[in-house]
Structure 1
Amino acid sequence: MGHPDSRPSPLALPRAFVACLAPLVVPSPAIANPPTPPSTGTQTSVLDPVLVTAPAPTAAPPLALAESPVRTEILRPADLPFAVSPKLSDLLDYQPGLRVESNCQNCNASELRVLGLAQSYLAITTDGLLTVSGLAGVYGLEQIPTTILDRIEITKGGGSVLHGPGAVAGSLNLVPRDPTHTHFDLDATWHRMEGRSSGDRPNTDVVAVFETMARNAPFGVIAYGLQSFVQGIDLNRDRFTEVTRRDLYGGGLRTVYRPSPEVRLALDYFYSFENRRGGEDGPALDLPDHETFLSEHLESARHVGLLTWDHEVSDAFDYRLGFAAARTDRDSYYGGVGPLGYAPPGTPDHDPRVPERLATRFPEFTGAFDDPSGPFYRADWSPALGYGTTGNLLLSTDLLAHRHFGEDHTLSAGYQFRSESIDDRTGLGRTFRDRYENHGLLLQHTWRMSDPWEVVYGIRGDHHSAVQSVIPSPRAAILYRPTPDFDLRFGAATGFRAPELFDEDLHISNVGGELVVVSPHPDLREERSHAFHLSPVWRFAPGWELGGHLFHTGLQDTFFTDLATDDPDTPGVIEATKINAGRAEIFGAESSLLYRTGRFAAELGYVEQRSRFAHPQVLLGSPDDPLDPPVTSRRFARTPDRYGVAKITWDDRRWRAFVAARITGPMDVPHVVNHPTTGELLQNELARSPWFVTVDLGAARTWTLGGHHRLTLQAGVKNVFNEYQDDLDAGPFRDPAYVYGTRFPRTWYAGLTLAF
């Protein structure tokens, strides 16, 4: 598809711990009620002795999580049975301090927020190498499989200099597991969502994994494939989808070669293809996009390859060399007869069957379709309008060496290179072609002082092709452990984001029936950041752990999308501009309480934060247009001040059961209110969402069939009480960006796993 043309006593520590968490106030929450153009044109859930490569994935000797000055949380897919999904987005939903949200009613574009900062502030890596570009990030969270992951390393805040310059919110490192033995796993899950389905095909997730490695052999392989399908769902019976129809196929291969204990070579390849379409529901999901009332249709293909080489030359020296390449191609359509119109009667491109079908299905618009000068006809319409293509290539190289001076000092030096090219033709008047490069040099010293101190500090210098000078970024982290039961971490980091197109810019959003196309301002400057955090952890009794995380991030020359630069001569399209909007700050406190003993585990996590611009920003409308009055605010839109998670699990190897809940507090949501039949703007408003408490529960039973063969059956319900937005916009002139709260309605599921 595309355009046709294109240590004191532990008992003395509570006082210090409470002082660290003094700013945290915990209120009582109130529960809330392929498109084709026509031919005519751990601090995991627990600080256990899990080994992580700290302070970043390298060939350095692994440190126990509790011994790393850089606060790193470990998330293992096997420890989260309640995710019931092979997709990364569903796994991250249950991690304290993280929120996965849907940003579009039409296409369900999802985004990960870390302590209030958007996904574009996060470095998403695979085995320490950048693999998720701005384009891939638009829908990538639902396309990245967790099938062969050993763990996910989550760093909140600036981390160490080994993380990239743009890791302002932190980093998310996906670490694949190495093959260990020969076996085969098959996992299949069936889902049923509330709402009116657009077809009979069931929602399914199917994953197959084959792993082989002979005993004491130096070579092992993991091969895997996955299929995921979600049917389009209309929740308010307005004949338009709220849940997008998605069909995803993918597969990959991981090979690991260890010719000696000191050398490891790993090669990974993954391919995925997704067809995603939303808008007018039912049979219309299979019609040409430009003939429907409203359609957002994406076909995305991704190729990802990685090569890593780890070599421990001696006890005093080791190094790592890594290379990654990720190619993303997307064919897209954003529009429909509602936003972009149709060919008037009497013109060569007019097909009378199109308005006849629409008038039959939407009788409230019959008169408008009978009027050649009505709102749905456009003299300059062409069949290619709205169809676009985007190509993106991301290359990254990482060379990191470590020199160890005894057990107390490690000096790390490295070079990191990133190149990203993008060719974007939207079919809506924007053509963007550019290539970015970033060269980074880094130096870091890890100093294991005599008890109870350990320090990691360093500096990196980056030269970005869109920035004139080299930007230094110093970072440091300190660990203080006066007793084995109490840790106190402090971190400080600086960073920047260069003036590029990010994931939110490459998604053509729909605001009140008009399509928003974002372009960077010619004088756009880099965005600078500084971040601080203080994180105490107290293991006050066997199995119990109390943790906290005070954080503050300041932004200078904050990137912001200005809608007031719209060209009034382009109906149906808003030409927005990315600008610098001055200062902003995000600060708050995260707290967690964990209990684990034997077969039982429980965890509570809660965040209280504030996200503010220094000066009010225009979220909707234009100060110079009385017909489109502005809505301004200092608050970050769609960012709650309060949110949390709760998880309870029971696992005795035969039976497994869980209850999990996600709490989302009120947030400000911009809303364009249009007339339901004419599309005329009625008002711009800043709505305040209610509280949401989303509860999931499920159970599973495992049988041993003999030898290593196992069968597991599972069933459960997600969003048990169907907590979902109750004021969804309706009709072809709805504001699809007016979405908040729980991503999906109540969903029943059942599945089985075969392992042998």
Structure 2
Amino acid sequence: MKGVKNYSICILIMLLFSLKGQSQHDTNKIIAIKGTVSNQGEPLPFCNVYIEGTIKGTTTNEKGEYTLKVRHGDYTIIAQSLGFKKGKKKVHLDKDTVVNFSLEEDALGLDQVVVTATKTNLNRKEAPVLVTVTDSKILQGTQSSSLLDGLNFQPGLRTENNCQNCGFSQIRINGLDGAYSQILINNRPIFSSLNGVYGLDQIPANMIKQVEVTRGGGSAIFGANAIAGTINIITNDPVEDSFEINSKFNLIDLNTPESILTFNSSNVSEDVRKGITFFGMYRNRKEFDANNDGFSEITKLNNLNFGFKSFYEFNDYEKLFAEFITIYELRRGGDQFELPSHQALIAEEIKNNIVSGGVTYDYFTKDYKNKISLYGNVINTKANNYYGTNQDPDGYGITKDFTALAGIQHTAKFEHNDEKSITLTSGIETNYNIITEDRKNALISYFQQKVHTAGIFSQIDWKITKDLKVLTGVRGEYFKSNRYYKTLFIVNPRLNVLYNFNDSWNFRAGYSKGFRAPQFFSEDVHSEIITGEIRNVQLASDLKEETSNSFIASLEYSHQDEGNQFLINLEGFFTRINNPFVYENRGVGSNGLLVKEKINGSNATVNGVNLEIKYSPNYDLIFQLGGTLQNGYYQNTYQPEDGITTNKILRSPQAYANAFINYTPKKWDFNLSAVYTGPMYTTHLAGFISQNELVKTPNMVDVGLNAGYTFEINEEQELKITTGFKNLFNSYQQDFDRGIDRDPTYIYGPLLPRTFLLGLKYSSK
């Protein structure tokens, strides 16, 4: 920790000098910039207007008007709004000046502002790290109820259901399972391992503004687990007065009902100095039995959540953000749902109570070239659960997970113009997590794990020339756990390069190192039920941390003119994982329960290519296509289950793809989507079948089709009706096991069979 302390002192000294250097300019003359932002003569309210190269900015009011105050000098003014191309004007200011903008529509979001690349707001075309975005248009167009439903529509991403009993789901990036991805909420790594088991299905789509994804290692800036990539969930901001009530009804396999009710409401003050947005969701789904054997393939689900996000500007230099969400969820799988869990033949029931909140305080120096962010987040989860078979009265237990995060980040912008710029981002972050499990079964001991991590990071985003940009950074991560025999300090560097051949072509390349610490994750902590047998997981006595080396390169072409937009991106990736965690059976333990041990396997490799194509001939029509070809394998063979020997990374298809078409003529809204999953290998465990098998799954294509029409109620309100189908051609698994001896983890393919949907949305304009 001595190195961490010394580096912290250096950051603080640098910060003090940068603040002192700004004070000498306090007497400079203040200039007022005023103007309007419009589109085709109509004002654009709540549009971002800011000074390029600084963090100084504001938002237009309901009439599209804005005011900025700066010191005299030469500036580049930027106007930017979701769904519109960026406006940019250079001005020399020595007196009060009027600067107006007329923005053109941006159907593909080529000029989107992203934060995941560098932990600072940046136009995605200027980011040295490739960031792809799933926005609210795709979530709405695919009729996604939760985050889980909408994440398939990016190259390299694939969601899956891993258990018929509990509905455990995960997202894979470039073929690696969910444990290798860092999930952020509003840039904070607050998503704990327990929340990662069911959390993708608990985050309602109506609270999401956009989902930013970086593929490849990101541990240098975001910490542990960011080996395959980073998923950053950006929630809706309060930008205007609005409300929306949305009711959805799904009929799974045309006979199993699911109802969803969501609401959104925002209020912003006239001076745009404070605002708050509320969101909520109620979801009720009946269990689904695909083969009529009395046991569920899709869990029964009851979910209720509520939250808000708000901001308050004290003045031009200080801003406070606050967010909060609470979730109650009941999910149950197995059989005989009318009976208590312990009277069923198989039951997995989880009652989750989650409370999460956070605050962020931003401070800017008077020239807006320095920004300090102080932040803190907590999330507390309590899960009352039952895992049992054959009417076991001792299957009840309680799992608790508490995570607290705090940090400080400093961003400094130095010389900044069209030719050269330097942005330095540094910070210190600490994370404390405690997970406990107490089970009624006396054979299963009380479990408690405490993990403390502390990271210190710094990176430089350096625009060397107009066409060449370099991003380099490093993070040191301290790890300590009461369940691991030594303390770790791991250094993770990164290097990324962006080169613009011209306005249309650019090339990116990068290297990053990542790691995962040796510890129990939530899926290790609770006993798992496999064909009626309870297993415990233990850590090997010589277990080492995983490390990774990732290389990624991409070539992108984008073009836009008055009539259309086009983007194509080809990305190659290579990741080598050293000492990866794998599980092997260790027979029966001293308590009479089966044991799986987490050990270090032989080195693993994933490599392949991602392709993304987008085309929009006009703002009413969007085509999107994404695809992945990949290969994932271990250097040596291992035994994931008795009788199965392989070197393959399981549940990782060599080919998968997605497509999305959105057409919105006048008041109509037509959406066509498709997700292709190629063959992959997965285990099929004995029980219903006589012995363990390694199975190659078939090709599967999930096609969705829906249409909506918007009725105008009056000048301020409207009603939209939507109907259609998910998985229209019923490309769904056909070989589920039957009965009490089934393998509930033998599940693959689309999340739902053919499903009819009907939706009503009542909202302000």
What TM-score do you get using the length of structure 1 for normalisation?
0.82
Given candidates 89, 110, 114, the residue that maps to 2:173 is 114
| Aligned 8 A contact 1:398 1:417 in 2 | yes
Does the alignment pair 1:329 with 2:382? yes
Query: How far did residue 482 of structure 1 move?
Result: 0.9
Compared with structure 1, are the counterparts of its residues 708 and 109 closer, same or farther at alpha carbon in structure 2 (3 Å cutoff)?
same
| Structure 2 counterpart of 1:317 | 370
| Structure 2 counterpart of 1:458 | 473
Measured in 2, the distance between the counterparts of 1:595 and 1:78 equals 15
| Aligned 8 A contact 1:653 1:702 in 2 | no
Q: In structure 2, the residue corresponding to 1:66 is in which secondary structure? A: helix
Compared with structure 1, are the counterparts of its residues 448 and 82 closer, same or farther at alpha carbon in structure 2 (3 Å cutoff)?
same
| Aligned 8 A contact 1:161 1:459 in 2 | yes
Measured in 2, the distance between the counterparts of 1:131 and 1:224 equals 19
Cα deviation code 1:25-55 (max 9, x no counterpart) = xxxxxxxxxxxxxxxxxxx994611112353
| Structure 1 counterpart of 2:552 | 533
Identity %: 28
Does the alignment pair 1:403 with 2:412? yes
| Structure 1 counterpart of 2:531 | 512
Higher RCO structure, 1 or 2 (CA under 8 Å, sep 6+): 1
Given candidates 737, 743, 753, the residue that maps to 2:761 is 753
Compared with structure 1, are the counterparts of its residues 336 and 653 closer, same or farther at alpha carbon in structure 2 (3 Å cutoff)?
farther
Measured in 1, the distance between the counterparts of 2:252 and 2:545 equals 43
1:136-535 map, 5 Å: 136-159=195-218, 161-194=220-253, 197=256, 202-280=257-335, 284-313=336-365, 314-337=367-390, 383=393, 385-407=394-416, 408-427=421-440, 429-466=444-481, 467-506=486-525, 508-535=527-554
Compared with structure 1, are the counterparts of its residues 321 and 652 closer, same or farther at alpha carbon in structure 2 (3 Å cutoff)?
farther
Measured in 2, the distance between the counterparts of 1:54 and 1:241 equals 38
Measured in 2, the distance between the counterparts of 1:160 and 1:70 equals 13
Compared with structure 1, are the counterparts of its residues 398 and 659 closer, same or farther at alpha carbon in structure 2 (3 Å cutoff)?
same
Does the alignment pair 1:56 with 2:146? no
Q: In structure 2, the residue corresponding to 1:286 is in which secondary structure? A: coil
Q: In structure 2, the residue corresponding to 1:85 is in which secondary structure? A: coil
| Aligned 8 A contact 2:219 2:475 in 1 | no
Measured in 2, the distance between the counterparts of 1:54 and 1:66 equals 13
Residue type at the aligned position of 2:448:
R
Measured in 1, the distance between the counterparts of 2:254 and 2:388 equals 24
| Structure 2 counterpart of 1:604 | 625
Does the alignment pair 1:684 with 2:692? yes
| Aligned 8 A contact 1:272 1:302 in 2 | yes
Q: In structure 2, the residue corresponding to 1:233 is in which secondary structure? A: coil
Given candidates 672, 676, 698, the residue that maps to 1:663 is 676
Q: In structure 1, the residue corresponding to 2:206 is in which secondary structure? A: coil
Measured in 2, the distance between the counterparts of 1:508 and 1:195 equals 35
Residue type at the aligned position of 2:363:
H
What TM-score do you get using the length of structure 2 for normalisation?
0.81
Q: In structure 2, the residue corresponding to 1:732 is in which secondary structure? A: coil
Compared with structure 1, are the counterparts of its residues 508 and 691 closer, same or farther at alpha carbon in structure 2 (3 Å cutoff)?
farther
| Aligned 8 A contact 1:130 1:324 in 2 | no
Query: How far did residue 445 of structure 1 move?
Result: 1.1
| Aligned 8 A contact 2:219 2:225 in 1 | no
Q: In structure 2, the residue corresponding to 1:80 is in which secondary structure? A: helix
- Of 399-408 and 497-506, more deviation after overlay is shown by 497-506
| Structure 2 counterpart of 1:647 | 660
| Structure 2 counterpart of 1:20 | none
Cα deviation code 1:6-25 (max 9, x no counterpart) = xxxxxxxxxxxxxxxxxxxx
Q: In structure 1, the residue corresponding to 2:586 is in which secondary structure? A: helix
Query: How far did residue 149 of structure 1 move?
Result: 2.4
Residue type at the aligned position of 2:542:
D
Cα deviation code 1:502-524 (max 9, x no counterpart) = 24324543323323332322332
Measured in 2, the distance between the counterparts of 1:546 and 1:315 equals 36
Measured in 2, the distance between the counterparts of 1:633 and 1:504 equals 22
Does the alignment pair 1:583 with 2:628? no
Root mean square deviation, CA, Å: 1.9
| Structure 2 counterpart of 1:724 | 732
Query: How far did residue 90 of structure 1 move?
Result: 0.8
Measured in 1, the distance between the counterparts of 2:669 and 2:382 equals 41
Cα deviation code 1:176-207 (max 9, x no counterpart) = 2321222221000001011764xxxx411111
Residue type at the aligned position of 2:732:
Y
1:83-102 map, 5 Å: 83-102=142-161
Query: How far did residue 290 of structure 1 move?
Result: 1.6
Structure 2, unpaired ranges of 5+: 1-105
Compared with structure 1, are the counterparts of its residues 504 and 644 closer, same or farther at alpha carbon in structure 2 (3 Å cutoff)?
farther
| Structure 2 counterpart of 1:4 | none
Q: In structure 2, the residue corresponding to 1:504 is in which secondary structure? A: helix
Q: In structure 1, the residue corresponding to 2:690 is in which secondary structure? A: strand
Compared with structure 1, are the counterparts of its residues 388 and 217 closer, same or farther at alpha carbon in structure 2 (3 Å cutoff)?
same
| Aligned 8 A contact 1:510 1:737 in 2 | no
How many residue pairs match? The answer is: 644
Measured in 1, the distance between the counterparts of 2:356 and 2:165 equals 27
Which aligned segments of 4 or more residues in structure 1 are displaced greater than 4 angstroms? 44-47
| Aligned 8 A contact 1:116 1:586 in 2 | yes
Measured in 2, the distance between the counterparts of 1:693 and 1:45 equals 27
Query: How far did residue 422 of structure 1 move?
Result: 0.6
Compared with structure 1, are the counterparts of its residues 302 and 54 closer, same or farther at alpha carbon in structure 2 (3 Å cutoff)?
closer
Query: How far did residue 148 of structure 1 move?
Result: 2.8
Does the alignment pair 1:620 with 2:641? yes
Cα deviation code 1:156-191 (max 9, x no counterpart) = 111473222321111111222321222221000001
Query: How far did residue 115 of structure 1 move?
Result: 0.9
- Of 318-327 and 538-547, more deviation after overlay is shown by 538-547
Q: In structure 1, the residue corresponding to 2:221 is in which secondary structure? A: coil
| Structure 1 counterpart of 2:570 | 548
Query: How far did residue 597 of structure 1 move?
Result: 2.1
Does the alignment pair 1:633 with 2:646? yes
Compared with structure 1, are the counterparts of its residues 507 and 651 closer, same or farther at alpha carbon in structure 2 (3 Å cutoff)?
farther
Compared with structure 1, are the counterparts of its residues 503 and 486 closer, same or farther at alpha carbon in structure 2 (3 Å cutoff)?
farther
| Structure 2 counterpart of 1:350 | none
Q: Which structure features the higher share of strand residues?
A: 2
